[in-house]
Structure 1
Amino acid sequence: MRKLSRRPDQGPPLIFTMVWLIYLVFPLVSLFKQPLPELIEGLVVIAVFIVLYICGYLYERTRLFAVLGLIFITLLFCLKLDASGIYLAFYPTPIIGLLKSRRQTIIGYAALIALFAFDLVHWQVYLDQDQLVQLLPAMFVMLVMPIGFKLGKRSKELRQKLNLANEEIARLSKNEERQRISRDLHDTLGHTLSLITLKSELAEKLITKHPERATQEVKDIQATSRAALKQVRELVSGMNAVTIRLEVDHAKQILAAAGILLEQRGDLDSPIPSPLIDNILGMCLRESVTNVVKHSRAGLCRVELQREAGSLLLTIEDNGVGLLKKNGEGEQALSTCNGMKGMRDRLKLIEGVLAIEPVSSGQGTRLVFTVPVVEKAGKGDKS
């Protein structure tokens, strides 16, 4: 079954192409009306026809020979039976659309058109209006089918190139962001932390012999640490462009492009108490939506933000194949994946947790991000 369901280098899965062989029952019915010697010859020809049809999908090198062989056998059936034998040409026409070079495509089309012309002239179909009305639309469809396959193949190649380009852009963006953060940390904090280390060592040496100078050094350390804290806040503020609200808008565009409906629930528009929490949950939302697009094969994605006593709950749910089911492993093993591990590492900074669970309906995956929140007292409250 795996061999039948596997996808060839081009075209649909083999099991899908073999379904159409059921229509060979019509020429078989005509063959069984023939004498025994002709019946045996016909069955052998049908067997060769099936082999050529399957090889035409599986092997690129022999694809043109398979097309010509199928057209030749169709010609034999047209000669032996009647003009309706031309319907067997439905089998080689999709394979013509899979031919690699323009020269091979032209040869395949030429052979197909020659077959149509021979059938029309040999059986004088042009004199039979009813038969002409039956055959001409079928011939037109057969001529158009290779063009449709060519366009589908071209579209698939363009999508693959676009996906590769987007992945490369994302990789380069991540590397650039890492380098920027590394530079900022080195430039803003490296010198400051080195200064704090030197002054603390100096204060340790002076604390017994020159306590006044040691006290002054400690005061300098305090001032330097405050400056370092300010620098960290400035650095983090440059990363605060990622928020839940912005990521929901971004997710709507990404999911729509992938044909996935976004359903928003809860209190997504209200402000988050902490910019850091907003930033980290926004980044987790971005990673989760990316996983839905890449792996879930879902048609619907729900994003919900709930506020409970002392905590925030961000839930991302899809109705796809199910992350746990697809990976064939439990949550504990799944947590070692890079994406999940990255989200858990971010949540540790704000003491948050991530729970991965299947949807109750059995279809899809639910990610629940729980973050503790300390609400500030209002101005009218008394301490």
Structure 2
Amino acid sequence: MVLWSNSELPFLAKIAVLGLYLGAFYFALWHQDWKLLLASLVGFVVISILGIYEDIFMLIFGFTFADLLGRAKSKWHIASGMLGIAVMFLIVIRMTKDSLFPIESQVLAPMMIIQLVFPVLIYYVEKSKNLQSELADVNTQLVQQEERQRIARDLHDTIGHTLTMIKVKTELTTKLIDRDPTSVKQELNDILATTRTALKQVRELVSDMNFVSLHTELLHCQQLLQSANITTTINNQCPKIVLSSVEETMLALCVREATTNMLKHSKAKNCHITIQCQNGQYRLTIKDDGIGIQQKGLGNGINSMKERMYALQGDAMFDGNTPTGTRVLFSIPIQDGKEPPT
């Protein structure tokens, strides 16, 4: 349309102006620094020429560079570009005021205001997108960190537990070599079976096989403690309570961790595990007659148990400040409709 118009611009000048406009637009499209500002100012000059010699409504093409200016990294570049927009409109209006129709004068002012606001609007939209992208990156990092913590916790609670059992069995086998050589073969077979269990646990962790049966884990821990000469009794007063998969798994892993700590540190001879339902709470208590919790502060295992109970809106309490043994209590709320009749 510009090439075949009846304006005062020569044909070659029209080609040059259009080429300069396209070049400025392409240059501004790929930059966000001072080069963007320079290209935009060149574009405003070209649009001013077209507005004066072709049609005043050529000023509408200023939206092209106003949009690109909003993507500039520097606020000073945006402000300078907005000044260029205002100057472009003022020059064109001044040069064409004698030929303007009333309706054109009424349209130009809103057009200029919108073009001045447009870079600011685009700037904050882009800033919002960048913040959302950064927030997504942070969330991804948090998820990855949480996943690493979960893997570390599961490794500590499963593989650490099984390796402790292998250690206990190995120590027992070492003592039996001189006293009871005939029992060594059976203990070595147990160590081999436990090693296979460890390999299975690794595969389960890799496969994200999370469910652990509380009943099975209690029996396994009882067997493990008794193999370490710790007499263990289990008293389940709530056999009719049905826990969810998550609740059962969390409690089972806490029992596993507590058993591992008992084997490592307690020097106990007896252990009592009791399950009760009181005041809407499912309470699992592990009590031993060992030396108590001698270490100051909370280790990784205790923190892990607290985190698991907290995730179920429950609690984990540890009473072991005296040399009369350690009492560990895990409690979680019983879901509506699951509490047994009194």
Which of structures 1 and 2 has the bigger CA Rg? 2
TM-score, structure 2 as length reference: 0.50
TM-score, structure 1 as length reference: 0.45
Q: Per chain length, whose mean CA-contact separation is higher, i.e. which structure has more relative contact order (CA < 8 Å, sep 6+)?
A: 2
